[in-house]
Amino acid sequence: MTDWHSLEADNVFKKLEASKKGLSAKEAGERLEKYGKNAIEKKSKISALKIFISQFTDFLILILLAAAVISYFMSFIPGEEDRIFDTILISAILIANAIIGFIQEYKAEKSIQALQKMSAPKSNVIRDGVLQEIDSELVVPGDILVLEQGDKVTADARIIEEANLQTNESALTGESLPVSKIVGALKEHTVLAEMKNMVFMDTIVVRGRARVVVTGTGMSTELGKIAEQVAETEEKQTPFQEELDKLGKKLGIMIMIIIAFVAALQFFLGMGRNPLDIFMAAVSLAVAAVPEGLPAIVTLALTIGVRTMAKKNALARRLPVAESLGSVDTICTDKTGTLTENVMTVRKVFSSDIELDVSGEGFATEGKFSLKGKESDPDKLEELLKCGVLCNDATEGADEHGKTKFMGDPTEIALIVSAEKAGLDTKLEREKYHRVSEIQFSSERKMMTVVCMEGSKKTAYSKGAPEILIGKCAYILSNGKKEKLSPKDKEEILKKNSEWGGQALRVLGFAYKEVGKEIKDEEIERDLVFIGMQGMIDPPRAGVREALEDCRKAGIKVVMVTGDNINTAKAIGKELGFAAEGALSGYEIEEISDEKLAKVLEKTEIFARVDPAHKVKILEALQKTGRIVAMTGDGVNDAPALKRADVGIAMGIRGTDVAKETSDLVLLDDNFITIRDAVAEGRGIFDNIKKFVNYLLSSNTAEVLAVFIFTLLALAINFGPGAVILTAAQLLWINLLTDGLPAIALGLDPKSEFVMKRKPRKKNEGVIDKRMLFSIITIGIAMAAVILGVFLWEFFYSEGTDLTEKMVRAQTAAFTCFIIFEMVRVQTVRASFRTKLLTNKWLWMAVSASVILQLVVLYTPLNTFFRVVPLTINELDGIVLGAIVFIALTILIVKAEDRLFGQRER
């Protein structure tokens, strides 16, 4: 690979076999054939079928699919026709779950496919010695591109001529300020951010003009290399997806073992059943035991969470990301635009007479000048502010809504805004002082001068680096009078410049000079009158410091990773509460081993001058220590890190399409506060998932235990031939009511107000931890024991006249107990999470609907289909008494839970 930046321009032409006159049409055609089109390769198309099929690969779903198929074939056996009901119900649940998952995932994948859109559609090139406009896809190595202010660079190229060229490379390098470009060769080992004699694909020319020779096109550009890294990075599951898969497999294995044991017990001990009855009982037990609603309800809860997050400006591209955000314990965030406004703002102004602070945010023209905290009149600064307006190329216009919009270099926009804060009519000043000539800014000169005419009076206005400008000055404006510039004045000015620089302010000095009608350029910038200085910075966003503090209180480590210089990063970091001590630059990261970097990351919170490789190195070092990492980014340079991160977060406003394509979450407002809010929503989502996992599994455990224990009791008690505590239809109805509306409504539970005051869960902590396992088992045992007690009471003491009628009445009581107890259980689960009783109206509506539906089954002709009978008042009293006993046992279990595992964090 050729280091084009280290070669002199003549050698670049030799290597490329090109010249300043450009290529001929024939040469360009041959090179197009050789190198291919100047385009980023497209990703393979999304397969809708593949996404839909993937919805059926979960282990729990496979068990239910098997049960549905078996039930379908059994429905053809005489006497087993009602098995078709099992097949229809299971299939309906599975298809609904698949459709929900498919729609969400397919829409998310289709929404952002943009690698092919990264290049500008047209390019100005010199072909056959003539300037031509061609499709950017036809640009080839050796072409001469002609760049002007506002152009998007369409290929990587070496600069051969330039006039005050500056490019915005923030999307590629993370540098927030425009980069001044040069022609000369650089050292071989120069980092990307400092290749000042190169321009890169997808960067923007913000000032000046240039001619450049193309060195790389398409996938051979820096952008193309990043796109290739993204393609090579394998798509990996989120932590939550991994947990849910493990949970499904564990549950499936446990269920299969229980079913096999019960079937074997019934087969070997006889119990008056033929093998077909035993097999069908096992299938019914599988349907009862598998929480078939779990995948659908998890999907629905995540969908609800995603919609809530979208309302708060966080757009999740994949459903599981909504939960994954809640489990992150480290956030690596950009500075520019995420923590800061991504606009330059004047913070301080200085003249020989006074130093004032300037308030206000961004490009808003509202702000005040103050001296030691007290508002001060900026009238004495009129000449300083006027100079900043006149020696300025930024323009003021309007957007599509008619609102004021500034265009140009952010630094120059900041000067216009500071003047307008002081009450200057900047448009009027520019009309009054008409520019007649200029000496443009260059990176070598580090200053700019314009000559303006007011009537017949000519005045030169200059701005530049104070240490350069002061050397051009012989006078100073003091109290509105021109005085000789003394060594003491120079010392004071340079001292103030150094002081502001230490605060990461970008400092510009200002001067003027009255000039005659005939004067040479080299004489204009001599014996200037120094007016003062303005110090500016890209300020922190309002509310970001508080959001960062909330994250730290929630046990989340926040790391600033920026392309800016280390002084700026440290100054902004201090203002936002980051530990500035131990801040590292990209150069230092390169010298540190992976093992040492992992140790350094325990304390270091600021990394500056980083490039794409540094970001990935930091990310991987954090992940090796077991951390769940969210990484933010906006440029194409961030794509590999975004894809490798546990949660990749792209910027919606200033983010490139590549960054959005590879991210998991897009911030619609580019604000760190939105990340904080999204994390809180994610934690709330996971709480709700834990609630209904606990609810569903404890209820299903009770069902399995009741069936299992009844099987053992049937060895000693004559319940009648082929007796079961619940029929297949009854078990399915119970699951439909309990896995349906109430479980779904749990997903709408509001998040706890204390959700950001607890530490993140550990990476190896599953959905079902020891506490939940204790709750599921103990509650399942308690529910099964009480329901069996009610069943036996009704069987021995019911109003039935014969064994069959007693069995039906006892079954009806047990059937209704399951519905009522599980409605009680849903509230006790919420109570264990310290959720207030009346905060979810949808849950109360769901519980009421389930109870009403059960009453409809009991007291309408539907009871014959379910083989149940209407319950008498005495029988209902027994169920209510059983519910009271169950509530009392649940309270005791929750107290035991708190003693064993400590009181749950709210």
**What residues act catalytically?**
334
CA 332/CA 820 separation, integer angstroms: 48
Tokens standing for residue 879: 């169920």
* Neighbour count for residue 218 (Cβ, 10 Å): 22
List strand residue ranges (DSSP E) for 516-644, in order: 528-537, 557-561, 584-585, 606-608, 629-633
Helix axes 672-713, 803-832, angle to 10 degrees: 160
Question: To which H or E segment does residue 512 belong?
Answer: strand 506-515
Residues 604 and 576: beta-carbon distance below 8 Å: no
SS3 sequence, 412-456? HHHHHHHHHHCCCCHHHHHHHCEEEEEECCCCCCCEEEEEEEECC
The half-sphere exposure of 873 on its side-chain side, counting CA atoms within 13 A, is 0
Its sign, for the CA torsion 536, 537, 543, 546, is negative
CA 192/CA 169 separation, integer angstroms: 10
Tell the residue number behind the tokens 């004071």, with chain if given: 492
Burial 376-387 (b: 16+ CB within 10 A, else e): bebebbbbbbbb
Classify residue 407 as left (phi > 0), alpha (psi -120 to 50) or beta: beta
Question: To which H or E segment does residue 481 belong?
Answer: strand 481-484
CA 813/CA 93 separation, integer angstroms: 27
For the chain, the straight-line distance linking the first and the last C-alpha, in angstroms and rounded, comes to: 57
Provide the residue type at 619 as one letter: L
> What is the torsion angle, in degrees rounded to the nearest 10, for the CA atoms of residue 215, residue 220, residue 225 and residue 231?
160
The half-sphere exposure of 895 on its side-chain side, counting CA atoms within 13 A, is 6
Ramachandran angles phi, psi of 594, nearest 5°? -60, -40
Tell the residue number behind the tokens 């599951």, with chain if given: 237
Q: What is the DSSP letter of 905?
A: P
Tell the residue number behind the tokens 């966080």, with chain if given: 314
Closest residue by Cα to residue 906 from 554, 629, 630: 554
* Neighbour count for residue 765 (Cβ, 10 Å): 13
Helix axes 803-832, 841-859, angle to 10 degrees: 180
Tokens standing for residue 7: 């070669």
Residues 470 and 508: beta-carbon distance below 8 Å: no
Residues 500 and 357: beta-carbon distance below 8 Å: no
Closest residue by Cα to residue 54 from 93, 111, 104: 104
Would you give the distance in Å from CA 76 to the centre of its chain? 52
Provide the H-helix boundaries in 645-671.
Answer: 657-662
CA 409/CA 812 separation, integer angstroms: 78
CA 498/CA 537 separation, integer angstroms: 15
* Neighbour count for residue 880 (Cβ, 10 Å): 10
Tokens standing for residue 63: 């068990």
Tokens standing for residue 64: 């239910």
Residues 734 and 819: beta-carbon distance below 8 Å: yes
Would you give the distance in Å from CA 550 to the centre of its chain? 17
